[in-house]
């Protein structure tokens, strides 16, 4: 199959490396200098230095040529959410396309499939999601993904493109649930990062040695993940998703990975917020996109529009906007009034 991956960040590069073992894959980056550097080093030093680029992987900075390459095959949009609309609009009618980005569009508050409906209704579209750190996929470590589309043949094409002995690809007919899971887990990873960061700071101060670790511990982490899943489910159901999707790879699976795995950029944002670093400095230091930062306000807005209660999301937004300190945010969440769990 001919596959074009549009966007040569960490995730697009990792999937292109894997698919190039079995397919004719072209990886596109908008920056011609970046393409030249990757051609010379056969490595993406900027975004994924861990893995070599296979000799068969084609590289290009020519968007029209990249689209033409996969005109009859599969186009993968691997940019951040902010660029999805523009990429979709550039594709020709009838093209088959899946995106990897996880979030809500800032400003409009739309999910990817809603943007596609608005900006590119003549495409056949879907999402590839699930718990998957790019570095692990690039190195061939076992990973399971989910391909979701209203078009069953497209989800099956994603299986054909990426399923291998190291990469399992499941299909789903619930793109709404898969997209809500991918977007909301990023916000929850920031929340858990904040709580874990407060604990690490207390330990570093020696509070543990003095037996007065007055900071959130592992119990608080489990509570945040579980209540985060409840928030994700509530919003998802309000937007038309199916309950079982949130118990799967793109829901609970990705939430657990991103909230607890230190490779997560969103979790690292939370860890650094707990050290009272300024958001702008954190984003500079990361050097990669952390979608939760941009999605959090839109998640909250869509929840409020539907009358859905999302207290963890609200606390993350308040911390990101500087209206609440990290410790006060955790205190607020843990100190909420008692109520029934379900
Ligand atoms: N990394 C991961 O493990 C995973 C990431 N994802 C999701 O995939 C998406 C991409 O993440 P990731 O690859 O990690 O991001 P990175 O931050 O590693 O890279 C972003 C890439 O997108 C490019 N880009 C940014 N804006 C535009 C634009 N307007 N037009 C074209 N290209 C653009 C950047 O190019 P330039 O250098 O020119 O700015 C860069 O190549 C995110 O939504 C993320 O949530 C999903 C699963 C796993
Ligand atoms: O989506 C991811 C893993 O599935 C990557 O998460 P981060 O963007 O937080 O690194």
- pLDDT tens-digit series, residues 205-253: 877 665 556 788 899 999 999 999 999 999 999 999 999 999 999 999 9
Report whether 306 belongs to an annotated binding site. Answer: no
| Nearest-ligand number for the alpha carbon of 132 | 2
pLDDT digits (tens, 9 = 90+) for 63-94: 999 999 999 999 999 999 999 999 999 999 99
Report whether 301 belongs to an annotated binding site. Answer: no
Report whether 102 belongs to an annotated binding site. Answer: yes
* Binding site membership of 11 for ligand 2 (Cβ less than 6 Å): no
User: Ligand 1 center to residue 260 CA distance, Å?
Assistant: 21
pLDDT digits (tens, 9 = 90+) for 293-337: 999 999 999 999 999 999 999 999 999 999 999 999 988 888 777
H or E segment at 172? strand 167-172
* Binding site membership of 102 for ligand 2 (Cβ less than 6 Å): yes
Give the whole-angstrom CA distance, residue 44 versus residue 270. Answer: 27
User: Ligand 2 center to residue 317 CA distance, Å?
Assistant: 19
Tell if the pTM clears 0.95, that is, is over it.
yes
Identify the pLDDT of residue 215: 83
Report whether 134 belongs to an annotated binding site. Answer: yes
| Nearest-ligand number for the alpha carbon of 128 | 1
Identify the pLDDT of residue 208: 64
Tokens linked to 71: 């005109």
Give the whole-angstrom CA distance, residue 27 versus residue 44. Answer: 11
- How does residue 202 score in pLDDT terms, banded at 50, 70 and 90? confident
Percent of the chain surpassing pLDDT 70: 98
pLDDT digits (tens, 9 = 90+) for 102-157: 999 999 999 999 999 999 999 999 999 999 999 999 999 999 999 999 999 999 99
Ligand 1 binding pocket, CB closer than 6 Å: 7-12, 29-31, 47, 78-81, 83, 100-103, 132-134, 288-289, 291
H or E segment at 44? strand 43-44
Catalytic residues: 185
Any idea what the Cα angle at residue 317 is, between residues 129 and 245, rounded to 5°? 25
Ligand 1, pocket-test mutation among 15, 60, 79, most atoms within 8 A of CB:
79
Nearest CA to ligand 1 atom 19: 9
Distances (CA, A) of 163 to 171, 176, 268: 11, 22, 30
* Binding site membership of 265 for ligand 2 (Cβ less than 6 Å): yes
Identify the pLDDT of residue 171: 98
Report whether 86 belongs to an annotated binding site. Answer: no
Identify the pLDDT of residue 339: 83
Mean pLDDT estimate for the chain: 95
User: Ligand 1 center to residue 312 CA distance, Å?
Assistant: 26
Helices (H), the chain: 10-19, 32-41, 63-69, 84-90, 112-119, 134-138, 152-162, 175-204, 218-238, 254-260, 265-273, 279-286, 291-305, 311-320, 326-334
* Binding site membership of 268 for ligand 2 (Cβ less than 6 Å): no
């Amino acid at each position: 199959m001919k596959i074009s991956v549009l966007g040569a960040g960490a995730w697009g590069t990792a999937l292109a490396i894997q698919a190039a073992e079995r397919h004719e894959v072209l990886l596109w980056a908008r920056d011609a200098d970046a393409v030249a550097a990757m051609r010379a080093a056969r490595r993406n030093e900027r975004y994924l230095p861990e893995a070599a680029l296979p000799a068969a992987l084609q590289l290009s900075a020519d968007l029209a040529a990249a689209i033409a390459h996969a005109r009859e095959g599969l186009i993968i949009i691997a940019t951040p959410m902010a660029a999805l609309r523009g990429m979709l609009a550039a594709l020709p009618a009838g093209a088959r396309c899946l995106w990897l980005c996880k979030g809500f569009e800032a400003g409009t508050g739309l999910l990817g499939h809603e943007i596609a409906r608005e900006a590119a209704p003549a495409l056949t579209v879907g999402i590839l999601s699930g718990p998957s750190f790019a570095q692990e996929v690039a190195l061939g470590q076992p990973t399971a993904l989910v391909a979701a589309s209203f078009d069953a043949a497209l989800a099956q094409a994603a299986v054909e493109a990426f399923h291998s002995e190291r990469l399992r690809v499941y299909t789903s007919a619930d793109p709404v649930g898969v997209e809500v899971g991918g977007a909301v887990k990023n916000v929850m990873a920031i929340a858990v990062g904040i709580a874990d960061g407060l604990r690490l700071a207390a330990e570093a101060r020696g509070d543990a040695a003095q037996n007065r670790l007055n900071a959130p511990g592992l119990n608080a982490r489990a509570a945040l993940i579980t209540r985060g899943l409840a928030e994700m489910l509530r919003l998802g159901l309000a937007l038309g998703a199916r309950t079982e999707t949130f118990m799967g790879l793109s829901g609970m699976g990705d939430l657990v990975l991103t909230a607890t795995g230190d490779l997560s950029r969103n979790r690292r944002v939370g860890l650094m917020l707990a050290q009272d670093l300024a958001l702008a400095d954190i984003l500079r230091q990361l050097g990669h996109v952390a979608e939760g930062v941009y999605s959090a306000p839109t998640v909250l807005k869509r929840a409020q529009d539907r009358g859905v209660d999302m207290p963890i999301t609200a606390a993350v937004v308040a911390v990101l906007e500087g209206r609440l300190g990290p410790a006060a945010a955790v205190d607020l969440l843990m100190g909420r009034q008692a109520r029934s769990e379900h």
